[in-house]
Structure 1
Amino acid sequence: GYGDEADFWATVGLLHDIDFEMWPEQHCLKAPELLQKAGCSPEFIHAVCSHGYGLCCDVEPTHQMEKVLFAADELTGLIGAAARMRPSKSVMDMEVSSLKKKYKDKKFAAGCSRDVINTGAERLGWTVEELMEKTILAMRSCEESVNREMETLA
């Protein structure tokens, strides 16, 4: 883990789409202004914006966790879509081999960029299969609490 940095990265994860809902056409471009006004550090702003590298901004992910967010942001969308298609509606029983079939079908979750997923894995020094496995395991670890939170919002 990242020890003392855990709260920093958890907050980056929570706020990485801070500008997306109100300004989707300015995603990762409006975020610096919002985060500066909130008193966030330049490092934090860089971490938040770097997940949009090559898609909507030119802030390159350099830290390992920035690379993880860059790679996982698109992949979690694909995994979420694949999970909703499963009888269990869950990642708990999802295997990489099943996800790879969905990944190869360019029409499935077409909004999830395979190029970004591939580039993200490459930047991390992982295979796409390793990235898929690590992301599925991470999503399994929090699926129950996310589902509980979503129920309270419904």
Structure 2
Amino acid sequence: MSLPTRTDALELFKTYNTSESLTRHALSVEGVMRHFAEKFGEDPDEWGIIGLVHDIDYEMYPDKHCKKAEEILSGAGWPQAWVRAVVSHGWGIVTDVKPETKLEQTLYAIDELTGLVASTALVRPSRSVMDMKAKSVKKKWKDKSFAAGVDRSIIEKGAEMLGMEISELITETILGMRKVADDIGLGMAEADKAI
């Protein structure tokens, strides 16, 4: 069987998800995964597609998160390595599948972080990632009541796995999200509309 394309992945994702916020999160993670793949000299399509579907089961099966994803993706004939990568992002939370490859470690590190970056962007005057720096996110990082659902310890563990400083991880995540800013509602055009 040929590898799933981005079109296949998006169609499959939309079969299980209707939430706009979850779709924006999926597109954010896809954009950041593509960015990191390029940075690490890996395949941006493979990394991006895995990022796109990583939460495929979250809306319909929140109590079976990652476990149901394995079932859905395996049932659709996805490569086992891709399925494992998706499952591994729930390590220590809902699965015991530890992120081992660079792809898995990156997905684990940036999943929660994209949420923190997006939340930080939305409270800025521009409501955009296009003019945002890591220090804005770092300021919000310390406020545990801000984006309280974001588990900062996961981001820290992920950064450690990748051998990156938190500031560098945040900067690269922002750069990845800039590439899809209009698709996720965090581009400058959105800011102009808000005025």
Taking structure 1 as the reference length, what is the TM-score of the superposition? 0.90
Aligned length: 149
For the pair 1:133 / 2:147, whether they are aligned, the reply is no
Instruction: Tell me how far apart the structure 2 counterparts of residues 141 and 95 of structure 1 sit (CA, whole Å).
Output: 15
One of 144, 150, 154 as aligned partner of 1:116: 154
1:79 equivalent in structure 2: 117
2:77 equivalent in structure 1: 39
One of 93, 105, 108 as aligned partner of 1:55: 93
1:20 equivalent in structure 2: 58
Residues 141 and 97 of structure 1, relative CA distance in 2, 3 Å threshold = same
Shift of 1:5: 2.8
Shift of 1:4: 7.3
Measured against aligned partners, the alpha-carbon deviations of 1:9-59 in whole angstroms (never above 9, x if no partner) come to 121011100111101111101111111110011101101111111111111
Measured against aligned partners, the alpha-carbon deviations of 1:105-131 in whole angstroms (never above 9, x if no partner) come to 111001000100110100000011111
Q: Once superposed, which parts of structure 1, at least 4 consecutive aligned residues long, lie more than 3 Å away?
A: 145-148
Larger RCO, structures 1/2 (Cα 8 Å, 6+ apart): 2
Report the secondary structure of 2:116's partner residue.
helix
User: What is the Cα-based RMSD across aligned positions, in Å?
Assistant: 1.8
Instruction: Tell me how far apart the structure 2 counterparts of residues 4 and 140 of structure 1 sit (CA, whole Å).
Output: 20
Instruction: Tell me how far apart the structure 2 counterparts of residues 13 and 61 of structure 1 sit (CA, whole Å).
Output: 14
Identity of aligned residues (%): 49
Shift of 1:86: 0.7
Residues 49 and 100 of structure 1, relative CA distance in 2, 3 Å threshold = same
Residues 29 and 130 of structure 1, relative CA distance in 2, 3 Å threshold = same
